[in-house]
Structure 1
Amino acid sequence: MSPAGTDPRQEAPPRGRPRSEAVERAIIDTVMKLLEDGVPLAELSIERIARTAGVGKATIYRRWNGKEDLFVDVMRAAEPPDPELPGTSMRDDLVVLLESLRLRGLAGRTSAILHNVHAQMKSSPNLWEAYHNTVIVPRRRLGLEVLSRGRDNGELRADLDLELLNDIIVGPVLLRTVMRPDADLPDNLAEQVVDTLLEGLRPAGDEN
């Protein structure tokens, strides 16, 4: 019997193994190193990753359903972190979002992982879909939420198509980062794009 006043349930060890952030980071770092060394995505099997990282395949599968899920986390780790919006105004939030996009463009030019894997992902529909659903869609949703708040707060005209407007706002930065990889990405690009567009999008009579 347990000592008086002691709940035996509190003495039982927890079931299962706790997830180790250090192990997850080591696996992600292993994939990043293999990609930096030029190993194509198609040749990165779970077996090879596990062997290189010095873990069992089961260790990987306990954390990710398969290669697609793992590679999406690798891409997220290689990119700049998602920004924290100031929430002071629609204009300020849009500048922060575009600045994040600009920094990703710069990272794509300097990071072998981002540059090579983005190109390879287009030939892997499952991987591209996983990346699109878990990375791109939430970012787009965040931009639409900012625009919606701006419209509700009177910072935008009420008749605007927010889906189209979101494309118009991110378009110039995407053009320079994807279609024109040699184009300049100056420090003030986000402010230039947002302020130029907002000049024609504010409600009539609003000069602020």
Structure 2
Amino acid sequence: MTGTGTPAHENTGTPAQGTARAERRGRPRSAAVDTAVVETVLRLLEQGVTIGELSMERIAREAGVGKAALYRRWAGKEELMLDVLRSLDDVSQPEPPGASVRDDLVVLLEFLRRRGLAKRSSAVLRTVVTQVKAHPRLWNEYHRTVVTARREAVFAVLRRGMATGEVRSDLDVELLAELFVSPMLTRALLHEWEDLSEGLAERIVDTVLEGVRPRERTFSG
């Protein structure tokens, strides 16, 4: 009681409520819970459960965590699924060495080739990607947050090449990036029976560069 007869916790809630609020503000996020939840979702998907059949309640129950703990970390299933996707795509794209446009593009395309091989060898990755593609909003968000950064790296290399004269400066950067990247992505994601052999990145880059290098002007007499 205060000197005025007013309960000391009247303006701040009960002691238990005050403790809960303090825990929410100061309690660090448990990496173990994050891992348990993501691994639970992957296990369920691998077992044939569809994204549509998953609910936050079921995920919490299967992971052995409270539903409140789940919602403290993710606002909903879409945000959780994005983290699940990122957990399978956590290999950082290498930093281009900056030696030449040709070498930098080879590094970036070789990364895509290796990711394509990893996808083919991972049943879980194939299952998750296939399911997420059936959810356009989720797939678009994944592209916005993950794939866009990789595209920007290719754009940066090409813009530098235009500035140094290694690539024609009158070309559209986005279209040009697609000419380099699309053959690898087509083989890796759409035509999974196609070969992803060593040297493919070099062959793609050299073939496209042959057509987009500046040409010397010839002058007639």
TM over 0.5: yes
Segment drifting more, 162-171 vs 118-127: 118-127
Residue correspondence of structure 1 range 67-146 to structure 2 within 5 A: 67-79=77-89, 81-88=91-98, 89-146=100-157
Q: Which residue of 2 aligns with 1:9?
A: none
Counterpart-to-counterpart distance in 1, 2:65 and 2:35: 12
Counterpart position of 2:60: 50
Identity %: 54
- 1:3 corresponds in structure 2 to none
Output the CA distance in 2 between the equivalents of 1:100 and 1:45.
Answer: 34
Q: Secondary structure at the match of 1:178?
A: helix
Q: Please tell me whether Structure 1 or Structure 2 has the larger radius of gyration of its CA atoms.
A: 2
Partner of 1:30: 40
* Structure-1-length-normalised TM-score: 0.84
* TM-score of the two chains, using structure 2 as the length reference: 0.79
- Deviation, 1:182, is 0.3
Structure 2: stretches of 5+ with no match in the other structure: 1-21, 217-221
Alignment CA distance shift 1:183-1:51 (3 Å)? same
Instruction: State the 1:110 CA deviation.
Output: 1.9
Q: Report if aligned partners of 1:93, 1:146 keep a CA contact under 8 Å in 2.
A: yes
Specify the code of the residue in structure 2 equivalent to 1:40: T
The answer as to whether partners of 1:97 and 1:143 remain within 8 angstroms in 2 is yes
Counterparts of 1:175-194 in structure 2 under 5 Å? 175-194=186-205
Moved over 3 A (4+): none
Aligned-partner residue type, residue 54 of structure 1: G
- Per the TM alignment, residue 108 of structure 1 is displaced from its structure 2 partner at its CA by 2.2
Q: State the aligned residue count.
A: 193
**8 Å Cα contact 2:93-2:150 kept in structure 1:** no
Question: 1:7 aligns to what?
Answer: none
* 1:92 positional shift: 2.2
Find 1:151's aligned residue among 162, 166, 173. 162
Check whether the contact 1:80–1:107 (CA below 8 A) recurs between aligned residues. Answer: no
